[in-house]
Amino acid sequence: MLRKVLQTLLVLSLSLFAPASYALPLSTKSRWIVDSTSGSRVKLKCIDWAAHMQTMLAEGLDRKPLSDIASQVSSLGFNCVRLTWATFMFTRTEYGNLGVAQSLKTLGLVEAMRGLEENNPSFMNLTVLEAYVAVVDELGKHELMVVLDNHVSMPMWCCSDNDGNGFFGDKFFTPSEWLEGLITVTKRFKGMKQVVGMSLRNELRGPRQNVLDWYRYLGDAARRIHAENPHVLVILGGLSYCTSLDFLKKRPFGTNLDNKLVYEAHWYSFSRAKRQKWEVNTLSQVCAKEIQGINNRSLFLTKEENSVPLFLNPSTSDLMYLILYHPQSGRCIHAKSNNIYASDCWRPSQWDHDRDEAALRLIGTDLCLQVVGDGLPAVLSTDCSSNQSTWTFASSSRLHLAASDQEGRLLCLEMNSTNPHTIMTNTCICLGDGSVCDRDPQSDLCLISYIDEEKKDMELKADCGVK
């Protein structure tokens, strides 16, 4: 049973946000999204922006000017916004033609009306559809790409199994009206190059969900959208709240839409989670099962011979380079003058570990991390080919980063409990599937997606070793 927050050194993948250096539109190439012109890889670093709720207005416009919001999104290092919308906004005039001011007034949002008039006064005279278009237009002015996400049919909070928005045939979710909405949106934004993707439906779910209707309706919609706008990426989510695409193993989709097909998977901390499994199993057991599960449900799509890009939300998984991080203390690992120590996370040392059973190299040098012995500090060495410099994930959970000493003993990297500035290697514990460990693990490692804007404003997202 886990008795306390584990002291864990984490290997973190760091994605630097650089100014846009790509041309639109985008396409796909194997598992990658690429610039259609040059073929260079483009990473979508997106935030979600809700505009599908009862107001049918992008949230926050009553708090900040639209231009300020778009500017801040860009300044934080994101290059993409997943902007949600509700089907009825584009299929029913009583929704789409509703004035923004009237929408807020009807819902009794008096304070929001005052805020909108102060921060975005021009929106008071727009319809909700005009306001939506204005948001997309402003995002484009800030060189932000946009993925238009059909979140629900009836404007409302998402989601539950029985909210009427879950699957084809539900109260508010008729296939014909859904398709009408998708085609309308595709046509409306066809000339706006910043709209790089159409996500066909958020989190299909509920008692009616089934594979046959998924192929039938999403297949038809994907082809219709591609025919209407062959430049836009077409993004398909799976079943069970977008957590499962495993049915594609038996029956592939059948087309990549001329290199425009992208799949979408969601992986939340609470997906398929039960509190009890964390209480009765070891961390290694739980993480190993989670990794196996996400691979079986969706990540297999990026590893097949005919691999396809996967739009993974909220996690990310590409590893440009790594940092070593200790979450409990908030320290990052630095290497300077042949010394390795823990300090703050301003300009932490960057490492390269391009595959399992490889050297952990200090980027910009010819040095790599090396084991000396059990209970001894790790060191930097120019010998990057020996067993002492070959680091592997020693358990199926990928929570143990380890290398062997000269005697062949597998030693794991951890922070010294008595001197938190020192990085040690000690005998690995809890590597197997047994539920009992001889002591609480202090140094389990996990690959974490790590987002950074010029080494500032860092955000961690758990990846648990999944590549």
> What pLDDT score was predicted for residue 272?
56
Q: How many percent of the chain have pLDDT more than 90?
A: 58
* Residue 270: pLDDT band with limits 50, 70, 90: low
- The rounded distance, in Å, linking the Cα atoms of 238 and 146 is 21
| Phi, then psi, of 110 in degrees rounded to 5 | -65, -45
Q: What is the pLDDT of residues 144-202, one digit of tens each?
A: 999 999 999 999 999 899 999 999 999 999 999 999 999 999 999 999 999 999 999 99
> What pLDDT score was predicted for residue 244?
94
40-136-138-451 Cα dihedral, nearest 10 degrees: -50
In CATH terms, 321-461 corresponds, of 3.40.50.300, 3.40.50.970, 2.80.10.50, 2.40.110.10, to 2.80.10.50
> What pLDDT score was predicted for residue 234?
99
> What pLDDT score was predicted for residue 346?
81
Listed by start position, the domains of the chain span 20-313, 321-461
Which two structure tokens, joined as six digits, stand for 22?
Answer: 């790509």
Least confident range of 40-44, 147-151, 397-401: 397-401
Answer whether residue 443 shows pLDDT above 70. Answer: no
Contact of 178 with 168, CB cutoff 8 Å: yes
Instruction: Please give the average per-residue pLDDT across 247-262, as a whole number.
Output: 95
Helix (H) / strand (E) containing 131: helix 128-141
> What pLDDT score was predicted for residue 283?
63
Contact of 199 with 147, CB cutoff 8 Å: yes
Between residues 22 and 263, the one the model is more confident about:
263
Contact of 191 with 178, CB cutoff 8 Å: no
> What pLDDT score was predicted for residue 275?
64
Q: How many percent of the chain have pLDDT more than 70?
A: 82
Instruction: Please give the average per-residue pLDDT across 417-429, as a whole number.
Output: 81
> What pLDDT score was predicted for residue 457?
33
Between residues 7 and 346, the one the model is more confident about:
346
Answer whether residue 455 shows pLDDT above 80. Answer: no
Q: What is the DSSP track for 278-337?
A: HHHS-HHHHHHHHHHHHHHHTGGGGTSTT---EEEES-----SEEEEEETTTTEEEEEET
What's this model's pTM, rounded to 2 decimal places? 0.72
Helix (H, G, I), strand (E, B) or coil at 388: helix
Instruction: Please give the average per-residue pLDDT across 405-426, as a whole number.
Output: 85
> What pLDDT score was predicted for residue 274?
62
CATH homologous superfamily of 20-313 equals: Glycosidases (3.20.20.80)
> What pLDDT score was predicted for residue 258?
97
Answer whether residue 18 shows pLDDT above 70. Answer: no
Contact of 51 with 59, CB cutoff 8 Å: yes
Residue 112: half-sphere exposure toward Cβ, Cα within 13 Å = 17
Least confident range of 35-49, 99-113, 388-402: 388-402
Q: How many residues in total does the chain contain?
A: 467
Q: What is the pLDDT of residues 286-305, one digit of tens each?
A: 777 777 888 889 888 888 77
Which two structure tokens, joined as six digits, stand for 94?
Answer: 């009583």
Q: What is the pLDDT of residues 215-224, one digit of tens each?
A: 999 999 999 9
> What pLDDT score was predicted for residue 434?
53
Instruction: Please give the average per-residue pLDDT across 85-95, as a whole number.
Output: 98
> What pLDDT score was predicted for residue 26?
97
Q: What is the mean pLDDT of the chain?
A: 84
* Residue 449: pLDDT band with limits 50, 70, 90: very low
